[in-house]
Amino acid sequence: MKTPSKIRKVVKRSGMVVPFAGERILNAIYKAAIASGHRDKKNSEILAGKVIDILDNCFSPEKPPTVENIQDIVENVLIQNGHAQTAKAFILYRYERTKERLEKGKNKVIPFDKVPFYKIYYILNWAIDNNLERIEKINERIREGGFRELVDICEKKYNEEILNAAESILRKGDGLKIIIVAGPSSSGKTTTTIKINDLLKKKGKNLVTLNIDNYFYDLELHPKDEHGDYDFETPEAIDLELVNTHINQLMDGKTIKMPVYNFKTGKREKTSVPLKLTGDEIILIDSLHGLSKKMTGSIDSRVKFNLYIETLLQMKDTHNEFIRWTDIRLLRRMSRDSKYRSYNPQQTLEHWHYVRSSELRHIIPFVNSADFIVNSAMPYELPVMKKILLKDFCSFENSLKNNLSKEDAYLRAKKVITLLESFEEAKDFSSIPKDSVVREFIGGSKYKY
């Protein structure tokens, strides 16, 4: 792709001057193109080159463009070159980001009003009944040597939720053709899915997994995030049209050729796997975007069951504020990425704001279509995460302190440090069951992920 000959800096909305990255212009145009139904990366490169030409003609190192200048030029280039649909998608995305910034400016938290109030009340009431609604009460229990009892109480509650979910699925009757398990990153979908699958098998229900990971586009066709990394969080990274086609073909009794995606090469293999439902088998889908209308909206609600997983912890911190669910999932993902994916946990922290933005646009809006919501939060897991991650977070805070381009990660690190420091540390993890959802993130699970 063409690189700018003069522009080296860009002025952010805050007034901060940061290095100019032409690749971000390409990423923005390509993602808008995908959102409008086009996946022509070469054409996106040509359009990005036109934007950079205009920037070179209108700005200089002494007079760098602002973010707004660049976005205005992108819109004009798209419209002038006959890409009205892509321009509309870009404008809508720009509008959403502006609205998010205004919400933050008002110190508002985007509400999770999609989760039914009765579910939140039920979890809070359980926490109060078991003296788990405040950090101080958790700490007192740990200091008195009650960590094992704490684990037992929490695991029992989680397994009750799993059992209730399985019973709700069974009540759907013989017309059930597909079970969808969805939820944001590190909510515990995999362990929850395994447990529910085991319970349904005991009731004679045979589930066949349609692995959505196999439907990723080749890496070269993926959109990228604002850091230039390939974005696996967005539904546009998945061949949604083929997913829908295959689901409907399976339910019609046809044989499909399920693709095989190779994450090492970033491409689909030339070979495929034939798949056909036999007898009363049920399709099982475990996916971030399982409830998205783009993925399963064409499926009749009478033949599917939508299950949603979230860390719905109801516990107040030392400042009398409820602990954020997203912070729990961040800690889970950092621990898992470091242990299983050879991924530096600081990278997870630095990219988390982008993960959150994707969740709020592509996952959270569909919570209200769930038939059952499972709470996967364990009140005992934060003392566990303190032992695993607190030292790392202190190191992250120091390394990010003077890096203005990563201010979000720095502020998040400070907030999480305060949270973890307020807990007593769990010294021994041996009382955590091998089938616990927490084991999915800290290791030692009996399940293979």
pLDDT tens digits for range 276-334: 998 889 999 999 999 988 888 778 889 999 999 999 999 999 999 999 999 999 999 99
C-alpha to C-alpha distances, 296 to 42, 300, 369, nearest whole angstrom:
30, 9, 11
One DSSP character per residue, 109-175 reads: ----TTS-HHHHHHHHHHHHHTT-SBHHHHHHHHHTT-HHHHHHHHHHHHHHHHHHHHHHHHTT-TT
**Least confident piece of the model among 5-9, 191-195, 339-343:** 339-343
Look at residue 1 in the predicted model and tell me its pLDDT: 56
- Encode pLDDT of 137-154 as tens digits: 999 999 999 999 999 999
Per-residue pLDDT at 123 exceeds 50: yes
C-alpha to C-alpha distances, 190 to 30, 71, 384, 440, nearest whole angstrom:
31, 39, 20, 8
Contact present, 237 and 222 (Cβ < 8 Å): yes
The three-class DSSP label of residue 66 is strand
User: Between these two residues, 17 and 227, which has the higher pLDDT value?
Assistant: 17
Contact present, 283 and 299 (Cβ < 8 Å): no
Contact present, 363 and 183 (Cβ < 8 Å): yes
Look at residue 349 in the predicted model and tell me its pLDDT: 93
CA pair distance 222, 129, nearest whole angstrom = 48
Going by C-alpha positions, the residue among 373, 23, 336 that lies closest to residue 168 is 373
C-alpha to C-alpha distances, 169 to 203, 291, 311, nearest whole angstrom:
11, 16, 21
- Encode pLDDT of 386-416 as tens digits: 999 999 999 988 888 888 778 889 999 999 9
Q: Residue 297: phi, psi to the nearest 5? A: -65, -20
- Topology of the domain covering 117-442: Rossmann fold (3.40.50)
Look at residue 101 in the predicted model and tell me its pLDDT: 61
- Encode pLDDT of 212-244 as tens digits: 999 999 988 877 766 667 777 788 889 998 999
Q: Residue 261: phi, psi to the nearest 5? A: -100, 130
Q: How many residues does the chain have?
A: 449
Per-residue pLDDT at 436 exceeds 80: yes
Per-residue pLDDT at 430 exceeds 70: yes
Domain ranges of the chain: 9-104, 117-442
